[in-house]
Structure 1
Amino acid sequence: MKMAKPSERDIDAGSALLSLRNDLSSGYYPWNDGEHRPTYFDPDDRQHLRRLYDALDALLERAPGFAGRVIGGMCYVICWDRNQILDPADDCLALHPDLVRGRQLLALARADLLPRLEREARATLASHIDRSAAAHLAAMRASWGRPASPGEFS
């Protein structure tokens, strides 16, 4: 599955939402209101609820659709087993073994690229020199009007 890549603004908004959610789930009041800052969020206080609404509204205005790109991208692209991005045997976010092996093979291919090109170029040049020398020698023999005798270059 393909999904739009989240922008830096989307990632920042996702981080702000995560921080807000962490504070609220711990019961803390997440905003600094100066000297009169309450310690705990009161879900029955209309001012607290208004502040929460305004914070969420500001996040959505700052990065419209960020939740879909950040959360959806993670859930439906990165973590989707069918895409084989994450290692299904690991409880942590680790690359799928096929991707790890592919990266290793790519590194080996990149490391051998210039030496391989040099080997192929030298072999092609040696083959071309051999063919050219043989053709030139054959032309010289033809101009001599006689076949090569034993011990001569052939």
Structure 2
Amino acid sequence: MSWRIDTQKTAVLLIDLQEKLLSVIEDRDRVVHKAVQLVKLAKLFSLPLYITEQVPEKLGLTCKEVLEEVGDTPRIWKNTFSAASVLPSDLPKTILIGGIETHVCVRQTVYDLRMREKVLYVLGDVVSSRNRLDHQLGIEEMRQDGVLISSVEAVGWEMIVKAEGEIFKKFLSILK
């Protein structure tokens, strides 16, 4: 099996990036900035994009910065901590994951999707929790269990493959 990210078999999943939740999240601005970059990369590489919202009637909608970038991409409402049960059964093999909170919804989703034999990249710069320790423990646990922890920039460079052409120019503008 190749370790390379095949854009033909990859999707992006953003979990619960809702303003009400983000208002108490450690490094909120970084998480949102990197989530927007990830959405732009998903568009550039034509990756399917899935966005969940935890009980939006109580916690509100996805933050405006992400909504502005995703356009009319439908959001999936959930009332479970794991997003796995509300995602389509025919998800691509590889999923790039960002969202909040690292140690709750992200972690539970990762473990449930592993049961569906998905290859998961948790993007450490697009996940966080209310406090740093919970975030760090969530990342550490997943890493010890063999989950791939990466970053938006690292997976972006993996997907671009070569340094030439119009797509490469657009790619560079996204990472600025």
Q: Same fold (TM over 0.5)?
A: no
Q: Which has the higher helix share?
A: 1
Q: Which has the higher strand share?
A: 2
Please indicate the TM-score interval, normalised by the length of the shorter structure: under 0.3
The two structures have a TM-score, normalised by structure 1, of 0.26
Bigger RCO of structures 1 and 2 (CA < 8 A, at least 6 apart): 2
The two structures have a TM-score, normalised by structure 2, of 0.24
